[in-house]
Every structure is written in C-alpha cells, then in structure tokens.
Structure 1
Amino acid sequence: MTATKDPSHPSAVARLEAALARIGSPEAKDVFTAVFADSSRWEAEAADRRAAAGTPRGPLDGRIVSVKALFDVAGTVTSSGSAVLRSLAPVVEDAEVVKRLRAAGAIVIGKTQMTEFAFSALGTNPHDGTPGNPRDCARAPGGSSSGAVVSVIEGMADIAIGSDTGGSIRIPASLSGAVGFKPTSGFVPTSGAFSLSSTLDTIGPIASNVEDCFLTDQVLSGEGTPSRLRGASPGTFRLIVARGRLFHGCEPDVLGAFENAMERLRKGGLQIKDGSIESALHDVAEIDKIGTFPSIEVGATLRSLGLQELDGVDPRTRVRIEAGAGVLASDYVRMVRIRQAAIRSFEQCFGTNEVFVLPTAPIRAPLLSSLTADAAFHELNGLVLRNPRVANLLDCPSISLPLPVDALPIGLMLVGRRNADRRLLEIASCIEATLRSPL
C-alpha cells in the first residue's frame, strides 16, 4: 500500500497542492516573488515514491520549504527585494543551502518576499509590496524575512529559510508568532546568497516548532547523520535574564508576558536568575559609534554585482548605505578588532549550560500606517533590531520562541554560547514544551 492511501498522513503531493492553493489565494498577496509549481510537483511525486518504497532521505523528505528571495535558485534572478537588481541575469546554479535542501528530499516551493537587500527589520518593501502580518494584516510582519514567516504561518510552507544579519529571522518570528533560529556563523554556508554583511550574515530556518528548526539546521549545516531532537532536562541548565538596557522601552504587555513566562518556567522546574550583559553591550556601543557592518559591506556586494549608483534604491535604504560609504578603512579595521575582542570576552560571561534570555523585540508588530513617516520608520526599525542584533555582533546562536499570549505575538529570545548551537536548541525545546504545557 502506498503512502498516499493513508488519510491520517496526507501525501506530499496532496500537501503541496493545498499549499499551492493557499499561495494562489488573495490573502497571499506579496508573500512570494516566485512560485516553482512544476518543479515542486516533480519533487513531491518523487518524495511520495520514496515514502512508498520505504527509502526516504531523512526527516525533511517531502517537507515543503520556501526560500528567501536572496538565495540563488537556478534559472531565476536573485533580485533580493530590489528593483535595481531585477535586470541581473538568471543564475545557473542553486545556492549551497538550496542544494542541501533538495538533496535531503525537501520540496522547494518558491521564493519569498523580503525587504530590499535584507536591510530593514519591519518587513516593508516599496518595490515588490509588503505582506501583511498573518495575525493582523494591517500590521508589519517583521523583516527582513517577511514573506518567509508568513509562508509558514499561513500554511504555504512547512519551513522557511531566511537570513539573519541583525535579527532578520528572529524579528519576523517574534512579531508574527513563529520560531526562528540563527546559528553561529560558519556552520551554514552563505555561498549563493546575497550578502548584506559578510561579517554578520547567517542562514537559518523559521518554523512552527523548535524540532523543525533543529532538523532543518542539521541539513543546512551539512551534518551527515541526522538525529532527532532531545529536549534538555529542566535541571541541567540555567536561564540568565539579561537585565539592563535591552529591557528599556519595552511595551508593558511585552514585559508582562515575559515575566509571566519566567514564572511559568520556574514552576516547571527551570533554574532562572537575573544577570547582565552590560559589559558586552558597552563593546557593541563602541562599534556603533564608528559605524555598522551592513551599511559598509553591502556597498561592496552591490559593486560586485555591477551597481555603481544607488538610483532606484529605496531612499530609506539608500541613506544607510551612503552613511557606510563615509567610514574610513582604518575605522572599519577598528570595528573588526573591537568585535573580535568583544566575542572573546563574551564567551567568558557564561557557561555551556547557561543561556541568556530576554524579549526578542521590545514591541509588538506596529501598524503599517505608523511607518509612513521616515522618522517613525527609522525609530521603530532601530527598536526591533536592538535586542536581536547583539547575538550577530557577538556571534552567538540565538532563537526566538512565541510566548503563549492571546493578543499580538510576543517573542522570547534565547542567546547561547558561541558554537553551542545544539545545546541551545535542546534548551529551547525544553522551554517550548514547558510554555505549551497546561498550567
């Protein structure tokens, strides 16, 4: 009997057709920039044949995956959310992560919308359109992986692959109510992905649960033998609440949800104590006084693509790129050296079984109508970036989990020790189960 005849386990083909129907609905406007209906159908049929033969390629075989518009997919233009890159030639080869997904049997359904060059965090795009927040379409979805998060929550994909340079996976996960994981840099190859910042770029998944993020990360990072996620036991780790400036300006509902979650976790047997990362934040502030890596490094990417002028670039993006162009080479070297010292220093702040915890974003998803004025846009953009970008600058794995709230989504962010990605995911799984369990 084939897998397609078990009604409790729909076939890959059936699930794909349902996803394609959702993508074709009016509510899916501006979520995808390209849909690979034909190739995804072939991939789904092949996955069903492997399932029927009992020869699946692994836990992602037959799972539907969307990829952000900054990834190379053979035969398509990598426009990266920008009108000025639409005239590039179609690429001839998949990005390395897309190759790994296909090799694992994943069904690559299409490319998702993003902010221009991945250079803002609210999810807006004046060139290709802005997908509404899936919890309230009048609100921002979060970015830069905006279409990615919507594709997962609206059932257009099981898993979405995004990029995270300053929170671009975790911010949309927080504002829209999903799980988003950013790995330590170097574990997942960035070749074949548009580079906002060669220093800070990372690639990771958005999904509805921690286990799917774990399974996807294993594929993306090229682990040969996939394993199932085993959640950490409550008594084997400690959460350190990163009190201080990263709690400033938080909405009362965000603070309330965070503190309620801490109390719930304590009742679940987790060890929690207050702590501080202020010394590391001082190092981050020293870098910011000089400049930001994305504003400097994206200019090099654009020049490598033959773009010499910024005409046609969103003015809100352009002003940040132009600011980076004014940073002296000697100052850029100082930024690199300060960051390297900060990374080494921060590694000594906590042990392998200690994880910092704080709100992912200090606010919930803002109304799109509140972003029309440039000043308001830049203020809110900086606010949602503030907490997540610390993990990029300090090169730590980090994950955002949705808190159990009835209103607009709120994210809980964990920051783990550098290179301890697997342990962070095990801890995140324990926290997820505790938060989801009945009181």
Structure 2
Amino acid sequence: DAPVVKSIRAHGCVVVGKANLHEFAYGVTSVNPHYGAVRNPHDPSRVAGGSSGGSAVAVAAGMCDWAIGSDTGGSIRVPASLCGVVGFKPALGSIDTAGVIPLSHSLDTLGPMAPDVATAAAAYSMMTGESIALAPVRAPRLGVPAGWVSGLDAETARAWALVSDGIPEVDFPARKELFDVGLTILLVEAAAYHRRWAAECPEKYGADVIGHIRRGLEVLAVDFEAALLALPRLREQAQQAMENIDALVLPATAIVAPAISAGSEVREPLARFTRPFNTTGQPVVALPAPASGLPVGIQVVGRSNAETLAIAAWLEREWRRQA
C-alpha cells in the first residue's frame, strides 16, 4: 500500500475498489481508450471530468463515502465540478505522494473527494493524521481575482453571477503566466517519466497522452529552467495578494460537462481556472454552486488547509440557507 492508503486503513477505512481515470492522470476528461469513458452521473452522454473522474462519479453515485483523487492541474477539482461533489486540493506537500505514479513531481497533490465539505475535511484528516476542526468562522473576506473570470458558457455564467454578487475584485498574479508556467513544468516532468515507454511502445498510449508526452520532449531546457525559476516569485506574489482577504472565489471550470464526443477544444476551458493554483501551491476546495441543471463548481482558494476548508463550509451553509 502507498502511505496514504496505509493511513486511511489505520483509521478504519475499507477500500471498496479502484476507479477509472484519464490515462496516467494526464487529461481533464477521463475518456480512457483502454477502459472506456467515465460517464457523468448527471448525463451519461457527457464526460465526468478528469483526471480523477472515476473517483468523482463513485462519490456522486453513492458508491462510497468518499474517494481519493490526485491533482496536478485540476484533476480533483475539474471532475468534482462536473459531477457536483466536493473536491479538496490541499496545499502542495500536505499529503505523501509516495507510491503514486507521478505526473509532475513538482506539482502533484493528493486529496479527497466527498459529498460535502465536512466529509472532505474528515477524509483529509484520515489521509494525513492532521486534525481538522471546521470551527465556525465570521463572514470571510472574499475576493475575485481581477481580470480572471471570462469566457464562461451560459450555465456556468448564470451560477457564477449568483454566487459572485457583491464580491469585489482583487489584484492577483496574472492567470496566463500561472497557467503557462505550470503547464511547462508538467509537460517536461511527465515526459521525463514516460520517455522510455514512449520510445519503446508508443502504440500502447492513447493518442492524446502520447501527444502530450511528445510535446513535453520538445520543450527547450531554457524554457523549463525559466518556469522553475518563476515558481518562487509567483508563489510569493500569491501569498502577498492574500494578505487582505481570507479566500479567493472563482469558477472551477469555464464550461459544464461537455459531450464524450467533444474534441481537444474542451481541454483549456476545463483547466483554465484550476491549473494556476497548482503553480501557486495553495489549498483549494471546489464545491457545487447552488444551480439547477448540470453541476457547476466554485473554487475557494485559501492560505491554509484548515482555514480554506472552514471558509468552504461557511459558503456551503450560506448557499443552502439561501436556497
């Protein structure tokens, strides 16, 4: 067992199965050429999101109390958003990733997926041994990163208008730079891990994943070095931007679950708002917005794991009270 599995077993958890996912956790749809597409429980013609799509569906369908996911560019938060469950990406380094096939060792994070914030917090405690108390909080100081939220589809825009009403915009590092730096690091580190297999048996990979690996092999060393050097600066800027607020609030994805038949055009709008926070390393909870129709997820981006979970629980209660 991986250390995280040993930890949850020690807390009395029973592992009921392994879930399907995007091949090698390298994608945001969980359309898997080997084991089939993970279907969205709200509309089986649509994707569940990825990469941890099977975990999200298992929770949404009531197959388990909670599930483990991994998140390198949104792989917990994207499927949580599309399937209408809670996903928690803890701060980078919070959970031991030993025993997990890596995607990008500089960015990989494990976390729980659950039906509500309280269960996600309890699951996180079992994964780490860290006690998390969802203590009542005063109305938190919230902000929307200025200039970030754009290009939403109609259903996401309606939900976002409802939950963002009255929340001011705040300065935060540019979304594009955070996205591009994280993507460059992921591409190179994933290619390094898969290099031998990609050379010896490329036909065993799905077309999208082998394409990503080959793209990573073409990244220039100077560009990879520049991305690594940018990390501490961007993380410091993100910390400074949080000094006068308790949490950022923004959509988890720009679109609701697309059709399984959709092409590569859905990748960027699904990862647009999640990947930047793998770059900053901040803790993020994705939770369902109070919306009708297909699920829409909202991200709560905080400073510490406990505080982020507490603020997400506060928002969850407020939305239920207003419903």
Q: Greater relative contact order (Cα 8 A, min sep 6): structure 1 or 2?
A: 2
| Aligned equivalent of 1:230 | 135
Question: For each residue in 1:335-360, what CA deviation from the matched residue of structure 2 results, as whole angstroms up to 9, or x when unmatched?
Answer: 10012211111110112752111111
How far the C-alpha of 1:309 sits from its partner, in A, is: 4.0
Gaps of 5+ in 1: 1-93, 267-271, 372-376
User: Which stretch has the larger CA shift, 405-414 or 279-288?
Assistant: 279-288
**Please, what is the CA RMSD of the aligned residues?**
1.9
Gaps of 5+ in 2: none
| Aligned equivalent of 1:310 | 202
| Aligned equivalent of 2:321 | 437
AA partner of residue 309 (structure 2): L
Equivalent residues of 2:143, 2:245 under 8 A apart: no
Question: For each residue in 1:172-211, what CA deviation from the matched residue of structure 2 results, as whole angstroms up to 9, or x when unmatched?
Answer: 0101100000011111000000100101100001100001
Question: For each residue in 1:88-146, what CA deviation from the matched residue of structure 2 results, as whole angstroms up to 9, or x when unmatched?
Answer: xxxxxx01100001001011111100001111101211111112100011111111001
Question: For each residue in 1:358-396, what CA deviation from the matched residue of structure 2 results, as whole angstroms up to 9, or x when unmatched?
Answer: 111011001113x2xxxxx22201110110111101111
AA partner of residue 110 (structure 1): G
- SS of 1:181's partner is strand
Equivalent residues of 2:85, 2:288 under 8 A apart: yes
Selected match of 1:323 from 190, 194, 215: 215
Over alpha carbons, which structure has the higher Rg? 1
Aligned mates of 2:50, 2:180 — CA distance in 1: 26
- SS of 1:112's partner is coil
The answer to whether residue 181 in structure 2 is matched with residue 287 in structure 1 is yes
Aligned mates of 1:222, 1:305 — CA distance in 2: 36
How far the C-alpha of 1:304 sits from its partner, in A, is: 7.7
Aligned mates of 1:214, 1:307 — CA distance in 2: 42
Equivalent residues of 2:179, 2:279 under 8 A apart: no
- SS of 1:114's partner is coil
The answer to whether residue 35 in structure 2 is matched with residue 132 in structure 1 is no
Equivalent residues of 1:162, 1:206 under 8 A apart: yes
Question: For each residue in 1:202-230, what CA deviation from the matched residue of structure 2 results, as whole angstroms up to 9, or x when unmatched?
Answer: 0001100001111111222232xx35422
Alignment of 1:20-419 (within 5 A): 94-223=1-130, 226-234=131-139, 237-244=140-147, 246-263=148-165, 272-277=167-172, 279-281=173-175, 283-284=177-178, 287=181, 292-303=184-195, 308-351=200-243, 353-369=245-261, 371=262, 377-417=263-303
Q: TM-score, normalised by structure 2?
A: 0.94
Aligned mates of 1:393, 1:211 — CA distance in 2: 26
Aligned mates of 2:25, 2:180 — CA distance in 1: 24
AA partner of residue 146 (structure 2): R
- SS of 2:168's partner is strand
Question: For each residue in 1:311-347, what CA deviation from the matched residue of structure 2 results, as whole angstroms up to 9, or x when unmatched?
Answer: 3111111111101111233332211001221111111
Give the direction of change, closer, same or farther, for the CA distance of 1:156–1:406 in structure 2 (3 Å limit): same
AA partner of residue 318 (structure 2): T
AA partner of residue 316 (structure 1): D
Q: TM-score, normalised by structure 1?
A: 0.70
- SS of 2:286's partner is strand
AA partner of residue 81 (structure 2): S
Aligned mates of 2:245, 2:178 — CA distance in 1: 24
- SS of 1:293's partner is helix
Aligned mates of 1:227, 1:383 — CA distance in 2: 32
How far the C-alpha of 1:306 sits from its partner, in A, is: 9.8
Question: For each residue in 1:38-67, what CA deviation from the matched residue of structure 2 results, as whole angstroms up to 9, or x when unmatched?
Answer: xxxxxxxxxxxxxxxxxxxxxxxxxxxxxx
Give the direction of change, closer, same or farther, for the CA distance of 1:168–1:350 in structure 2 (3 Å limit): same
How far the C-alpha of 1:305 sits from its partner, in A, is: 7.7
- SS of 2:95's partner is coil
User: Which stretch has the larger CA shift, 298-307 or 388-397?
Assistant: 298-307
Give the direction of change, closer, same or farther, for the CA distance of 1:344–1:115 in structure 2 (3 Å limit): same
Aligned mates of 2:306, 2:223 — CA distance in 1: 35
- SS of 1:362's partner is coil
Question: How many residues matched?
Answer: 323
| Runs of 4+ with deviation above 6 angstroms | 304-307
Identity %: 35
| Aligned equivalent of 2:311 | 427
